[in-house]
Structure 1
Amino acid sequence: MSAPTDPSDARRTYGGVLRDVTVFVVVLTVLGVAGGALVGGTAGVWGALVGAGIAAVFSLSTAYIMWATAAKPMHVMNAWLVGAWLGKMALLLVALVLLRGAEFYHPGVLFVVLTLAILGSLAVEYRALASARIPHVDPESRDTLG
Structure 2
Amino acid sequence: MYQPTQSGHQQVGGTQPRGLTFEDTLTRDMRVALHDFEEVATVCNWCAEECLGEMGMEECARLCQDVADLAILNVQFIARDSPFGIDLAETFAYAAEECERECAQHPHDHCQECAAVLRRAVDSTWAMLDAFESIPQGRSQVPSQQY
TM range (shorter): 0.3 to 0.5
| TM-score w.r.t. length of structure 2 | 0.42
Structure with the higher fraction of residues in helix conformation: 1
| TM-score w.r.t. length of structure 1 | 0.43
**Structure with larger Rg:** 1
